[in-house]
Structure 1
Amino acid sequence: MYFIKRALKYIKNKKGKTFLLGIIFLIIANFVLAGLLVYDATVKAQEQTRISIGANVSYQLAIEGILEDNQKGALNKEEFNSLRAAFTGEITTSEKLTEKGAPTYSNMMKAINSEYVASYDMTVSMDVTANDLAQYSQTSNSNDSHAFDMKLFADVNPMDFADENVMLMDGRLATSEEIMNGDPVVLIEEQVASINDLKIGDMIAVEASTLDDEVVSLELQVIGIYTSEEEVDQKMVSRGGNTTLPQNRFYVPFNILKTIGFTQNEMDHILIPNNVIRLKDPLFMDVYKEKIEEQLPLKYGNLDANDALYNSIMGPIEKLGSIAQIMVIIIAVAGASIIGLITALTVNERKEEIGIMLAVGESKVKIVTQFVLEVTIIALMAFMLSSFTGSIIGDKVSETVLDSDMLSPTQENAMSMRMFTPGRNMGKAVMPGNVKNDAVIEKQDIHTQLNIMVLLQLFGLGLLLSIISTILPSLYVMRFNPKQILINRNS
C-alpha cells in the first residue's frame, strides 16, 4: 500500500499543481452540480404541476372524428340529426356513438372500470315543467314561465359542487344509495326556494318528456338548497331564456331516467357530454389514458386531462431540463479532456520518477493507480466544496434561462384547450381538476434543492471523471523502459 503514501506525499509537496488542479475540478464540479440540481428540480416541477392541475380526466366528444365521418358519408341522416340535436341541448342516444367510442353511458362504465379510478360523475340536462313553481328572472318583469332545467348527476359530490361553482346552503346532498336507485330527490336554488316558499322536505311536482315525447309526472322531495356563483353568458340567456340561469336548475340523481321511462338500451347509449373521472393519483394519468385507449375505439371520443394547459406550463420546464442535461454532458466531456491533458503533461514530466520506481521493482499497475489516486483525491475534495456553491449557480442558471425568450411557449401551446359546445347539454368547456379557465401561467419558478440522490450522482460522476481522465494518459507508463529512462537521465 506504499503507492497510497506516495500519492498523498505528492499532493502535499506539489502545492502549486494541486491547487491548479483543484481549481479546475472545482469549476467543473460547480457547473456539473448546477446542471444536476436544475434537472432534478425540473423533474420534481413536472410532478408538482400535474398534481396542481389535478387528477381529473374528462371523457369528451371528439368533434373532429364526427366531422370526418360526415364528410366521408359514413353517417346517415338519422345519425347526423341525432348528433346535431346534441349540440342544441337535447338528450341524444345512439348506438353509433357507442360503437365509435363517444362518451355514452356504457362507454363511461368501461372507462371508470379501472384500478386507477377513485370516483366519477356525469351530468345530463333536460327541460322539465313545474306548473306550480315560478321561475327566477333577472329582470323585474313578471314571468309566467314554469320551465326549469333538470340536471342529472351520478356522484355524492356532484361536479358543480366539487368545483365550488355551487355551494350547499341548507339540507344535504344525495346519498350513494339514492343515486344508485334513482330516488326522486332534488336540490333547488335558494332564490327559487324563496320565491316559491319552499323548504327542506317539501315536495314539488314536475313533468318531463321521454324520448318518445311521452309526458311523465314526477314528485320530487327537496333535500337540499344551494346557491350558485356560476356566471352565465347573457347571449345564451337571450336565446334560451331564464331556463339557462343556474337559479332555475334542479339537481336530480342520474338514474331518475329509469323512473321517467328510459329503457336500459336507451340508457346505455345516451350521450354523456359533461363528465369527470377522478383518479387516485395525478401521476396515474398517462398509464390510465393508455389503458383506456386500448379498450375503447376512441374515434368519436377522447380523454382530456387538461393536457393543453399542462403542456403549455411544462414546455419551458422540459426545455430547461434538456439544457441542464446538455450542460452536464458538455462540462463533463470538456473537463475530462482538460484533466486528461494535464495528466499527460504531468506523466511526461515525471519520467525519471517513474523510471526509478520501475527499476526498484514497483509494478506498472501500482504506478498507474498512484496517478489515478492523486487526481481522485483532489477531485473529491473539489466536488465536496462544490456542494456549498453549486446550488447557488443552479438557481442563477434556472432563473436566467427561464427569464429569457428562448423558453417562451408558442401561442398555440399557451392557450388552454376549450371545447366548442354551443348546446346547454354540452355545457361549458371542462377544465379537469381545480384549475380555473382563466388561469394564466406567466412564469415557472424552479428552486433547486440539494439532496442525497443529487450528491450521489455528483460524487459518482466526479469519481468516474477523475478515473477516466487520468487512467488513459497514465497508461503511457506501460511503454516506459526503466533502463532507457535512466540512461537518458545520465547522458
Structure 2
Amino acid sequence: MNFWQRALKSITRRKGKSFILFLVVFVLGNVIAGAVAIQQSTANVERETKKKMGNVATVEMDYERFEKETADVPDEERYSEDFYPMPPGVDVYDQIGEMSYVKYYDYSNMSYVETKKLTAYSPEDGSMGMGGNYFSLKGGNLTEPLDMREGLIKLVEGEGLTDKDINESTNAVLVSKEVAEANNLSVGDQLVWDIRSEVYMDNSESEDDEESEDSGQQIVTFDYPVTIAGIFSVIKKDDSGQSNSSDSAQESNQAWMLMDQINTFYASNNFVKEFSKVQMEKLWGETSEDIDEEQYYTPMFVLHSIDDVDAFKQEADALLPDYYKIVTNTDQYDQIAGGFNRLGVIANYIVIIASIAAMFIISLVVLLFLRDRKQELGIYLSLGESRGKVIGQIVIEVLLVSAAALFISLVTGNLLGGAVSNTLMQSDFMSPQVDNGMVYYGSLMSVDLNLNDVKDAYQVNFSVSYIITYLLLGLGTVLLSAVLPLLYILRLNPKKIMM
C-alpha cells in the first residue's frame, strides 16, 4: 500500500480526529474568508468610486500649511501686498500639461455677471434662487470646453466656439438651453448684457450715471454686447438604479450644482480678460495695467488613467512654487468613504492575525495527533519506508481535510462577511468625515457623489479574485502550519520507538 492509500485510509479510520481538524480549519477559515471578502469589497469600492470621481487634477494653494508656518508673522507684515505667494504662471501649467500622464488640459479665467433684465435660470417650483440674475463666466483656451469633453454639458445648437473666437478675442459665448429659452435667444443673436453691480465707495466718487441707494452704496450699470455662438444642454445625472435617498441636503446640493452649471456662459480666456477689464474700470476705476497684473487662472488636467494620479502628483508638485500643490477629485475619497477605509484596514489586520493564529493552532493540533501516532510512524520507518513518504502521507491527510473545510468556508465565510458588513452599514462606523456625506470639489469639476453612492458600490459577493485570494491564502497557511509537525517526524528514531 503506497502512502497515498495510507493517507486516505488514515482519514476514514480516524474519523474523530479528522473531524476535529476539519472543525478547526473550518472555523478559522470562516474568519479569514469573511475578512478577505470585506477586503476585496472595500478595494472594489475604492476603485469604482474613484472612477466616478474622475481622474481630474488642479492646482491650489496649501493654505493650511501656509497658515501654520506663518502663524508668528506680525500683522503689519501679514497685510502687506507681497505676503501671500504668487500663484504659478501659465508657463508652469503648460509644462505640467505636457506630461505623459495628461490626456488634455486647460486653464480658465473666471468672472461673474449680474444683470438687470437678462433672466437667470431657477427651478420652476421656486425651491431656490439667487435673489437676482447671477451668471458665471468661464473662459478657456479650447474650442471644446473641458466641461464638454468630460460629458458635463453637450452642444445642441450652433457650431460652438471656433479657433478665431479663441485666438482673436471675439465676443462669442455659449449659453445653456434653459437660459436661451427663458430669454428667447437663438444661435447668432446679438445679446447685450445689462450689467448691474452694487459697489461701496465715498459719495464724492459717485458718477452721474450711477443710482445711489444708501450712503456710500452705489449701483453701477453698463452694457456689454456678446454673440450667441452655441447653445448647450447640461447632462443630468441618471439616478436609475441608485438608492432612493431622502437626504434633503443631497438633493439641495445637486440642485445648486445643476443651477450653477445652467447659469454659466462659456467663452475664451481672451474674452473673459477683456470683459474683466471693462468691468473693473466701470466698477472701481482700475486701469488696464493694474487689471493685467491681477489675472488668475484655474488649471484643469485630465489624466489618462486613475492609476497615474500618484505619479502625476509627485512629479507635478516639484514644478510648482512653494505653498502650492496638486489636488485631485480622488483626494476627498478618504473623507467621504472613511468608514470603508477603516473597514478595509481592519479586514487586513484580521486576515494577518487569523492566518498567524491558524498556523499555530493547526500546527499544534496536527502535532498532538502525531504524538498519538508515534508508534505507527515508527513502524513505517522501521520497515524501510522513507521519511519523505511518511511526511508526504501526513501532508496529504492535512491537505485533504483542510481543503474540504476551506471550500465549505469559502461560501459560509462570504455570508459571514456580508452579514458583518450589513450590520456596520447601519451603524455610525461608516459615517463620512464631511458634512452630510457630500463631496466638495472646490475648483475641480463637481460630481454629485455622497455616502449612499459609495454604499451602492459595496457588494460582498463571489468573484474570481476573492476565490483565488482566499484559496491561496488558506492552502498556504495550512502548508506552513505543517512545518512544525514535519520537524517532529524528521526527529523520530524508529529504534527507540520500537524498544
TM-score, normalised relative to structure 1: 0.70
Contact 1:117 1:278 in 2 (8 A): yes
Q: Which residue of 2 aligns with 1:351?
A: 374
**What is the aligned counterpart of 1:178 among 165, 178, 184?**
165
Counterpart of 1:153 in 2: which secondary structure? coil
Shift, 1:386, TM fit: 2.5
**What is the aligned counterpart of 2:229 among 220, 223, 233?**
223
**What is the aligned counterpart of 1:444 among 451, 455, 472?**
455
Q: Distance in 2 between matches of 1:227 and 1:482?
A: 87
Structure 1 residues 35, 485: CA separation in 2 closer, same or farther (over 3 Å shift)?
Answer: same
Letter in 2 for 1:107: V
Shift, 1:195, TM fit: 9.6
Could you give the per-residue CA deviations for residues 63-101 of structure 1, whole angstroms, max 9, x where no partner exists?
557767694676784547xx8xxxxxxxxxxxx624xx4
Q: What is the aligned residue count?
A: 427
Shift, 1:48, TM fit: 0.9
Contact 1:306 1:416 in 2 (8 A): no
Q: Distance in 1 between matches of 2:329 and 2:431?
A: 20
Q: Distance in 1 between matches of 2:177 and 2:49?
A: 37
Is residue 316 from structure 1 mapped to residue 316 from structure 2 by the alignment?
no
Q: Which residue of 2 aligns with 1:7?
A: 7
Contact 1:364 1:477 in 2 (8 A): yes
Shift, 1:374, TM fit: 1.0
**What is the aligned counterpart of 2:105 among 120, 134, 139?**
120
Could you give the per-residue CA deviations for residues 163-211 of structure 1, whole angstroms, max 9, x where no partner exists?
9987766434213563244444233577987899764334568999xxx
Contact 1:119 1:278 in 2 (8 A): yes
Structure 1 residues 176, 288: CA separation in 2 closer, same or farther (over 3 Å shift)?
Answer: farther
**What is the aligned counterpart of 1:432 among 445, 451, 457?**
445
Letter in 2 for 1:435: D
Q: Which residue of 2 aligns with 1:459?
A: 471
Q: Distance in 1 between matches of 2:234 and 2:316?
A: 34
Q: Which residue of 2 aligns with 1:372?
A: 395
Q: Which residue of 1 aligns with 2:495?
A: 483
Is residue 296 from structure 1 mapped to residue 300 from structure 2 by the alignment?
no
**What is the aligned counterpart of 1:333 among 329, 339, 356?**
356
Shift, 1:314, TM fit: 2.6
Q: Distance in 2 between matches of 1:414 and 1:247?
A: 24
Shift, 1:345, TM fit: 1.8
Letter in 2 for 1:289: K
Shift, 1:356, TM fit: 1.3
Q: Distance in 1 between matches of 2:139 and 2:269?
A: 5
Q: Which residue of 2 aligns with 1:43?
A: 43
**What is the aligned counterpart of 1:97 among 86, 90, 97?**
86
5 Å-filtered alignment, 1:65-464, equals 71=73, 77-79=80-82, 97-98=86-87, 101=88, 104-125=89-110, 135-136=118-119, 151-158=138-145, 170-176=157-163, 178-187=165-174, 199-203=186-190, 221-225=227-231, 251-256=266-271, 270-273=295-298, 275-299=299-323, 301-306=324-329, 309-410=332-433, 416-417=439-440, 429-435=442-448, 439=450, 441=452, 444-445=455-456, 446-464=458-476
Where does structure 2 lack aligned partners over 5 or more consecutive residues?
A: 122-133, 196-222, 236-259, 278-287
Q: Distance in 2 between matches of 1:62 and 1:167?
A: 34
Moved more, 219-228 or 343-352: 219-228
Counterpart of 2:59 in 1: which secondary structure? strand
Structure 1 residues 286, 432: CA separation in 2 closer, same or farther (over 3 Å shift)?
Answer: farther
Structure 1 residues 322, 220: CA separation in 2 closer, same or farther (over 3 Å shift)?
Answer: closer
Shift, 1:411, TM fit: 5.8
Work out the percentage of aligned pairs sharing the same amino acid.
26
Letter in 2 for 1:318: N
Counterpart of 1:444 in 2: which secondary structure? helix
Where does structure 1 lack aligned partners over 5 or more consecutive residues?
A: 84-95, 139-146, 209-216, 230-244, 419-428
Q: Distance in 2 between matches of 1:476 and 1:134?
A: 92
Q: Distance in 2 between matches of 1:220 and 1:175?
A: 15
Letter in 2 for 1:15: K
Structure 1 residues 259, 444: CA separation in 2 closer, same or farther (over 3 Å shift)?
Answer: closer
Letter in 1 for 2:468: L
Structure 1 residues 389, 63: CA separation in 2 closer, same or farther (over 3 Å shift)?
Answer: closer
Q: Distance in 2 between matches of 1:376 and 1:247?
A: 64
Could you give the per-residue CA deviations for residues 285-337 of structure 1, whole angstroms, max 9, x where no partner exists?
222222210111242x3333245642122311111111112222222222222
Q: Which residue of 2 aligns with 1:211?
A: none
Q: Which residue of 2 aligns with 1:30?
A: 30
Could you give the per-residue CA deviations for residues 80-131 of structure 1, whole angstroms, max 9, x where no partner exists?
7xx8xxxxxxxxxxxx624xx4xx433332332222223334433458999x
Q: Which residue of 1 aligns with 2:59?
A: 59
Contact 2:51 2:306 in 1 (8 A): yes
Shift, 1:469, TM fit: 2.2
Contact 1:316 1:402 in 2 (8 A): no
Could you give the per-residue CA deviations for residues 334-382 of structure 1, whole angstroms, max 9, x where no partner exists?
2222222221221111122122112111223322222122101211222
Counterpart of 2:22 in 1: which secondary structure? helix
Shift, 1:47, TM fit: 1.0
TM-score, normalised relative to structure 2: 0.69
Counterpart of 2:460 in 1: which secondary structure? coil
Structure 1 residues 433, 196: CA separation in 2 closer, same or farther (over 3 Å shift)?
Answer: closer
Counterpart of 2:57 in 1: which secondary structure? strand
Q: Distance in 1 between matches of 2:330 and 2:114?
A: 39
Letter in 1 for 2:484: L
Structure 1 residues 377, 59: CA separation in 2 closer, same or farther (over 3 Å shift)?
Answer: same
Letter in 2 for 1:430: S
Counterpart of 2:321 in 1: which secondary structure? coil
Counterpart of 2:347 in 1: which secondary structure? helix
